[in-house]
Structure 1
């Protein structure tokens, strides 16, 4: 690895860390950066997953204020996404992620729609004054369990925009402030990536030398991101994230079908 590659990955990591903690779209910057320096797609995928662990570390320490009083709820989410991440990682080792390419654009596009819809609740239009989790029926609780497990598996298997999909689900099932659900999503994404990295480290090749600069940048960006989220208007933040999701969905749709 040259000094130029080191600096390039460090900068890409900072950008990806910001995108991760603010919009759940880290792979929009980090994965292409690895491809641009000549890393094969499969190795780039698992190396990117390993590096993303660092943005979770930075975001978690920076979000302790938002997470206070929410550890029990977060614990349940972590169990579900971790189990899902294990399943998704195993599936990736058996089947190439390319087999998922044709449906991923629709998942990402749907997450953008969910984010916009979840912010238009008559009782709580912008989640700015939320006080606690929304009461759910047993059927809704079952759907929540399934949804969080699936998004964990998705993150462990393919990963692209897994954070924004998770954010959309959390926004629908919680009436907490947006900064709180964004913090929960950051920690949940950290858990999914961490368990996937452990599995990959024993079963496939991770380019650890490239993880260093990319991970350092992700750590920095991940720490800065939550501070930005606290200062940006919630409605604007939702709109920007949704538009970014739509843009990524269109890009992946074109690559998959044309």
Structure 2
């Protein structure tokens, strides 16, 4: 119980600051002897309080983004529900091959995001166009598809969100991180509500992860908001590399 609670605190902090906290809680839940699907759905429900407390911690960076978040949350909600459905219907190995490649591509995009963003801005200026305030249909489609993956298995979904928003939105990295926290909360909540009626939970694990992640989310917000864009980007890449190694392990 102490290990699960500690994993919840760590995951909440990591999720809020850079994402991929499920890489901490999910293995710990499996180590207790819990079946994989039960561990996945219990983890999803338990991490909701951490996502909410993290989003509250980033409330200053969320200012002026209400309309954008509302629009993106629709795609996140639909994607999360779709991913939750796939978790209960597809074999456990369905995403094993594509997920590491997807996370790897997201990391490459994050590393080169400043150059890509500058290139996109110069091209837009030459064409005489203005940036779409919400990233346009391309970003909404990409975030919705990423949310499908998030509803299926939440590890590293935030990295994919950050890579997509970094390319298509002209915003500081911390403001994008704030939006990421909200979208993760929406996806986890949508998936958890679906699981409530169709899957088995370990309620002791849910309570322990929830309490830990709520505390960790608050800590992660205080730390994450102080990081420079360069340090934040480096941490996201480091966590992403760990995620790929974990996902490729037999």
Give the TM-score taking structure 2 as reference length: 0.90
Matched residue of 2:60: which SS? helix
Partner deviation per Cα, 1:171-218 (whole Å, 9 max, x = no partner): 112121111110100010000000100000100101112111111111
Contact 1:156 / 1:196 at 8 angstroms: preserved in 2? yes
- 2:43 counterpart of 1:45: no
**Once superposed, which parts of structure 1, at least 4 consecutive aligned residues long, lie more than 4 Å away?**
121-124
- 2:102 counterpart of 1:102: no
Q: Counterpart of 2:72?
A: 77
1:1-258 superposed matches below 5 A: 5=1, 7-121=2-116, 123=118, 135-136=131-132, 141-255=136-250
Contact 2:117 / 2:170 at 8 angstroms: preserved in 1? no
Q: Counterpart of 1:131?
A: none
What is the CA distance between 1:251 and its match in structure 2?
Answer: 3.4
What is the CA distance between 1:166 and its match in structure 2?
Answer: 1.1
User: In 1, Cα distance between the equivalents of 2:144 and 2:45?
Assistant: 20
Task: Identify if the C-alpha distance between structure 1 residues 254 and 210 changes in structure 2 by more than 3 Å, giving closer, same or farther.
Answer: closer
Contact 1:119 / 1:235 at 8 angstroms: preserved in 2? no
Contact 1:97 / 1:158 at 8 angstroms: preserved in 2? no
User: In 1, Cα distance between the equivalents of 2:138 and 2:67?
Assistant: 19
> What root-mean-square deviation, in Å, do the aligned CA atoms of Structure 1 and Structure 2 show?
2.0
User: In 2, Cα distance between the equivalents of 1:188 and 1:218?
Assistant: 16
Q: Counterpart of 2:122?
A: none
Give the TM-score taking structure 1 as reference length: 0.87
Partner deviation per Cα, 1:112-163 (whole Å, 9 max, x = no partner): 1111111335749xxxxxxxxx71499x723212101101111011222111
User: In 1, Cα distance between the equivalents of 2:103 and 2:158?
Assistant: 10
User: In 1, Cα distance between the equivalents of 2:131 and 2:36?
Assistant: 43
Task: Identify if the C-alpha distance between structure 1 residues 161 and 249 changes in structure 2 by more than 3 Å, giving closer, same or farther.
Answer: same
User: In 2, Cα distance between the equivalents of 1:224 and 1:119?
Assistant: 28
Task: Identify if the C-alpha distance between structure 1 residues 180 and 39 changes in structure 2 by more than 3 Å, giving closer, same or farther.
Answer: same
User: In 1, Cα distance between the equivalents of 2:245 and 2:132?
Assistant: 34
Work out the number of aligned pairs and report it: 240
Structure 2 runs not aligned, ≥5 long: 120-129
User: In 2, Cα distance between the equivalents of 1:202 and 1:16?
Assistant: 25
